[in-house]
């Protein structure tokens, strides 16, 4: 009997600490999150610009400005036009080839199953067009950039170029506060409505470090190739004993992560049962 008041006191202390931590958190409030005070509930900033907190960059603004000044607008514009043209040609030819040459019988049933499983929707294709064009444009420009500024290439403004026509624009103007989280992931974080949404870029924990500052795999400081993934994996899971703590569950778990985050979609354009089946 004598112990009781003390237990209550401890519980009370723990719960008030939890609650005060919640109120102090910078996590957005709303029906799906932390309960809001009246003031916070409807005053969230909803017109969010594309936030830069997705790319930690060690590139200083001085370098970005220097690059911007040293690069003639016309050169960037020409690179953009050429890159879009090349990408368009690639898409045109690939699709024509697929439509002309391939049919369901061109593939094994396992390959067809994979195609079905990784089938891309139209929006993914639109995004990949923009991404490939940007890549080609960057490759055209990188030779013209002095070495020390190469790392800043992603900050070269393209809003005055044709690239503007192919780059995705955010459709979000306002997040409606609703009862459920959205299945697209949009607006689930009302401070940064695009964070964690489908078709959005993934967050980087480290700045990008490509060998050519664009897309070539990272190399060692010496300029040599890095060891292969299988060499590294052999270091962590020496055969034949396997790993001491990872169970077989790691593979479905990693597959889940992969499908959710970096799944690479495929296109399927065949003569039969396809985009062109109505022709
Ligand atoms: C775009 O590509 C087409 C076909 O390959 C070519 O004829 C045309 O000159 C190119 N246009 C530009 C602006 O590069
Ligand atoms: C790609 O195909 C479209 C539609 O047929 C055409 O208008 C365009 O000029 C083609 N582009 C290139 C670069 O070949």
Distance CA 53, CA 197 (A): 15
**CA 89 / ligand 1 centre spacing (Å):** 9
Nearest to 209 by CA among 51, 56, 52, 54: 56
| Closest-lying ligand 2 atom to the alpha carbon of residue 88 | 13
Does this model's pTM top 0.75? My answer is no
In whole angstroms, what is the distance from residue 156 CA to residue 172 CA? Answer: 25
Name the residue of 85, 86, 88, 125 whose CB sits within 8 Å of the most ligand 2 atoms, as the mutation to test its pocket: 88
Q: Residue written as tokens 């936030």? A: 51
Count Cα neighbours of 271 within 13 Å in the Cβ-side half-sphere.
Answer: 9
Q: Tell me, what's the pLDDT at 11?
A: 41
The confidence score (pLDDT) of residue 46 equals 37
Say which residue, 193 or 58, is predicted with more confidence: 193
Question: Quick one: which of 214, 210, 66, 69 has its CA closest to 143?
Answer: 214
Q: Measured from the CB, is residue 92 less than 6 Å from ligand 1?
A: no
Residue whose CA lies nearest to ligand 2 atom number 3: 92
pLDDT level of residue 240 (50, 70, 90 thresholds)? low
Q: Distance between CA 255 and CA 244 in Å, rounded?
A: 21
Cβ of 95 closer than 6 Å to ligand 2, yes or no, is no
C-beta separation of 155 from 125 below 8 A: no
Q: What is the pLDDT, as a whole number, of residue 239?
A: 66
47-56, 102-111, 142-151, 156-165: lowest mean pLDDT where? 47-56
pLDDT higher for 277 or 164?
Answer: 164
Identify the residue whose C-alpha is closest to ligand 1 atom 9. Answer: 85
For residue range 19-69, what is the model confidence (pLDDT) as tens digits?
433 444 444 545 444 555 544 333 333 333 444 445 555 667 888 888 888
Q: Quick count: other Cβ atoms within 10 Å of Cβ 158?
A: 18
Element (H, E) at 130: helix 122-142
- Regarding the beta carbon of 94 and ligand 2, being less than 6 Å apart is answered no
199-239: pLDDT as tens digits: 887 777 888 889 988 999 999 999 899 998 888 877 877 66
Ligand 2 in contact with 85 (CB < 6 A)? yes
> How high is the pLDDT of residue 86?
96
CA of 133 to the centre of ligand 2 (A): 15
Q: What is the pLDDT of residue 84?
A: 94
């Amino acid at each position: 009997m004598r112990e009781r008041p003390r237990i209550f006191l401890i519980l009370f202390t723990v719960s008030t600490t939890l609650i005060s931590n919640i109120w102090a958190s910078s996590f957005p409030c709303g029906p799906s999150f932390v309960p809001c005070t009246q003031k916070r509930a409807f005053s969230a900033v909803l017109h969010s610009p594309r936030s830069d907190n997705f790319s930690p960059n060690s590139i200083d603004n001085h370098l970005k400005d220097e690059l911007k000044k040293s690069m003639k607008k016309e050169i960037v514009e020409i690179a953009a036009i050429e890159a879009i043209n090349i990408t368009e040609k690639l898409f045109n030819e690939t699709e024509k080839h697929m439509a002309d040459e391939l049919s369901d019988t061109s593939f094994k049933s396992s390959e067809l199953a994979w195609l079905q499983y990784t089938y891309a929707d139209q929006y993914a294709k639109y995004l990949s067009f923009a991404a490939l064009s940007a890549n080609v444009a960057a490759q055209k420009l990188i030779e013209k950039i002095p070495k020390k500024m190469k790392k800043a290439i992603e900050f070269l403004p393209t809003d005055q170029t044709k690239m503007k026509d192919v780059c995705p624009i955010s459709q979000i103007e306002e997040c409606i506060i609703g009862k459920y989280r959205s299945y697209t992931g949009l607006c689930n974080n009302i401070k940064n409505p695009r964070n964690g949404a489908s078709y959005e870029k993934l967050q980087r924990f480290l700045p990008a470090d490509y060998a050519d500052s664009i897309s070539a795999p990272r190399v060692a400081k010496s300029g040599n190739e890095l060891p292969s993934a299988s060499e590294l994996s052999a270091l962590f899971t020496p055969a034949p004993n396997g790993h001491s703590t990872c169970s077989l569950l790691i593979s479905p778990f990693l597959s889940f992560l992969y499908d959710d985050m970096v799944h690479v979609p495929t296109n399927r354009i065949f003569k039969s049962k396809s985009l062109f089946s109505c022709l």
